[in-house]
A and B are shown apart, each in its own frame.
Chain A
């Protein structure tokens, strides 16, 4: 029976063309109806982008998955290291990054650091004017009596972060900020010693955490949201992260 051959004379030729095309373009051979898998970092890191967004935009509505876009690369790489080493505790993150090499972490961190995504505002809980005022005081002046430095003294005068390892605080949701300050106190978030942020978080009272989270989340965004230049601040406390480059050294 040669019915098939006579009906579809072009088939073997088509297959050869496809094969040659696949070899030429280096694309994996796939069924004709499926698009090829792009050889991009974005495609490789589906495990990250599925929660944090393709451009690291996070979930500003809920604050549950933090924004990664535009955060300093060394800061992001450091967070992956901290999850891998168990200094920061969140089982799904620890599982996902547990095998990644410093080089791959750095590449992923640079991808998200380079993303430009407009900030979106998140809902604020109802707080009193006095609370907001206390929060604003902590953000810009600190509380010297309780040895609490101002947020701005490390995170930059516009709170947009400082290269290479200090994240910005503006544009973050209230829930995210208060959850992070809480997790420093319960030791589910930490970093290399000396962990200056743990020291500060433990000097804040519960009402201070509410106040500072509300004040930061309600701040107007500056025109330029990029992190300040490296070396442009002098931290009031010794910080392990500032002596480190985020690659585990």
Chain B
């Protein structure tokens, strides 16, 4: 019996050690700015700071790191995830609440390896799964820019993650599944422009963080790239960025991609929902060369097969007849009887990938919320669409969305009244 007792003791010791590591592991000595290999003179170089500002804009860091009505980059938002809310930190150089005490080495470790200043594992709501591809030089420029900002004192809000997600070391398993560290490696078989586009899309642009479906652990399997999917909590469908039919960029030219990212509108559609924010705060400021590179890269993605059409579980014909009636009354004046819209003003619905995407969420919510096209330098006084939430019943919204998804060249399944009712309740932040 002695061996059994020893074995039990060993197991207990192992469990204690494991728990200790689980809760307290991951220690790391931070590097103080004074000990950093990067000199203050380097960081004060105006050219480096200007390049950093451009890169921080391309990465849309302000998009998450700014609270509604708050100072830019000062954090304060609570980012909703299926696992609870995650507090978004202040990244201005404030000593107490921001990155004031962070050296470049600390910054690089966070951006490249998803680890905080003391080695703690960062939650992947901070998209280091993409940022790991950013080069050392670009990261240095971004760091120089962020350190040049006026410091803003703003303590973060509290995270409300559920157990076991509240224990940072639980991310060890997550990282093994979904995170591969490594700077972008150019493909020598492709052009320099293609490689620049791939670098921007896969790295700083972190397009895949929305434009790919997440699984039940909130991760994107490593072979899944820009395949489109529903954004958790936000209830919008981020399109497949390959040239796939129904919910992809089928029929989009390079110019269409450039136009949408630059002006918010293209001949194929208008950005709305979260993508409108991305255009307004980030992509409209990208250089024409970079936008062209992104378009070249996206255009090269092999088209995926459209998802097989699921037979509707109910009689959609009556719905479509009612939908046509609503469309004629409410929509046709702007989007046209032919669904082709008005060039430069109202987007086409015929062949619009946001209309034909698999879920029907985008068209449903666009009808409910309406809103302005993105406000950009090229379109400072955009036209807008009325919100129909107060004017149309769930049944009428389902009917008109089913109609536009199933007429002209569009052939996608109907949406149901209960879905409309669900999306009506979705919080908008």
Q: Which A positions have Cβ atoms within 8 angstroms of B?
A: 28-31, 33-34, 37, 41, 43-51, 84-87, 91-92, 94-96, 98-101, 103-104, 107
Give which listed residue, B69, B344, B369, B374, contacts A99 with CB less than 8 A: B374
Which of B37-45, B84-92, B381-389 binds A? B381-389
B390 close to chain A: CB less than 8 A? yes
Report the separation of the CA atoms of residues A46 and B382 in the bound assembly, to the nearest whole angstrom.
Answer: 11
Residues of A within 8 A of B382 (CB): 44
B308 close to chain A: CB less than 8 A? no
A101 close to B380 (CB less than 8 A): yes
Query: Can you name 4 extra interface pairs (CB under 8 A) apart from A37-B342, A44-B381, A84-B69?
Result: A34-B336, A50-B370, A91-B428, A104-B380
- For chain B, what secondary structure do more than half of its interface residues adopt (helix, strand, loop), or is it mixed? loop
A100 close to B427 (CB less than 8 A): no
Residues of B within 8 A of A84 (CB): 68-69
Give which listed residue, A37, A87, A91, contacts B69 with CB less than 8 A: A87
Q: Which B positions have Cβ atoms within 8 angstroms of A?
A: 68-69, 276-277, 280, 333-334, 336-338, 340, 342-346, 369-372, 374-375, 380-391, 427-428
7 nearest A-B pairs in the assembled complex, by CB-CB distance = A85-B69, A50-B386, A47-B384, A86-B68, A99-B375, A91-B428, A86-B69
- Contacts known (A92-B369, A104-B375); A43 close to B383, Cβ less than 8 A: yes
B276 close to A46 (CB less than 8 A): no
A99 close to B277 (CB less than 8 A): yes
B342 close to A30 (CB less than 8 A): yes
Report the separation of the CA atoms of residues A29 and B386 in the bound assembly, to the nearest whole angstrom.
Answer: 23
A101 close to B346 (CB less than 8 A): no
Contacts between chains A and B (CB distance < 8 A), count: 90
Report the separation of the CA atoms of residues A28 and B344 in the bound assembly, to the nearest whole angstrom.
Answer: 8
B280 close to A104 (CB less than 8 A): no
- Contacts known (A28-B342, A30-B336, A103-B380); A95 close to B68, Cβ less than 8 A: no
Pick 20 A–B contacts, CB within 8 A, sort by A.
Answer: A28-B344, A30-B342, A31-B340, A34-B333, A34-B337, A37-B342, A44-B381, A46-B334, A46-B384, A50-B370, A84-B69, A85-B69, A92-B369, A92-B428, A94-B68, A95-B428, A96-B369, A96-B372, A100-B372, A107-B381
B387 close to A100 (CB less than 8 A): no
Give which listed residue, B337, B340, B383, B390, contacts A51 with CB less than 8 A: B390
Q: Chain B residue with minimal CB distance to A47?
A: B384
Residues of B within 8 A of A87 (CB): 69
A33 close to B381 (CB less than 8 A): no
